[in-house]
Amino acid sequence: MWARVKGRTENDLLQLNFKRAFMFRPGYLHPIDGLRNTLPYYKYITWLFPVLRAIAPNYVSRLYDLGLAMIEVAQNGYALRTLEVRDINALAKAHAAR
């Protein structure tokens, strides 16, 4: 149900004729150290992040990287309107390199 509602919302936003509207699909987000408002089960799975990043890098990213990617897209735009994890990670690297 969540994916259906998110998809409908994305489609509705894209139809509003904004000059620039970008949809972010971040997958698993690894929280920032010290973040207090995380889901309770994250404390049991955060140790898996390095493993997941090594074997499935297109499905996981850090919350910090999502923020960098959003800043990069807001400043410079992006060729795609829907950004998947691989796009988010690439944009974060590009922004951090500046």
Q: Is residue 25 part of a domain?
A: yes
If pLDDT is split at 50, 70 and 90, which confidence band does 46 have? confident
Weakest mean pLDDT among 34-43, 45-54, 63-72, 88-97: 34-43
Q: Is residue 7 part of a domain?
A: no
- The number of distinct structural domains making up the chain is 1
Q: Is residue 89 part of a domain?
A: yes
Q: Is residue 15 part of a domain?
A: no
Q: Is residue 63 part of a domain?
A: yes
CA 51 – CA 57 distance, rounded (Å): 9
Give the torsion through C-alpha atoms of 69, 87, 62, 4, to 10 deg. 100
Q: Is residue 61 part of a domain?
A: yes
User: Longest Cα pair distance anywhere in the chain, in angstroms?
Assistant: 42
CA 36 – CA 22 distance, rounded (Å): 28
Query: Range of 37's domain?
Result: 20-97
* Integer CA distances (angstroms), 77 to 16, 29, 74, in order: 18, 22, 6
Q: Is residue 91 part of a domain?
A: yes
Give the rounded percent of residues in the chain with a pLDDT score beyond 90.
Answer: 70
Q: Is residue 14 part of a domain?
A: no
* Integer CA distances (angstroms), 6 to 2, 17, 19, 20, 47, in order: 6, 18, 21, 18, 28
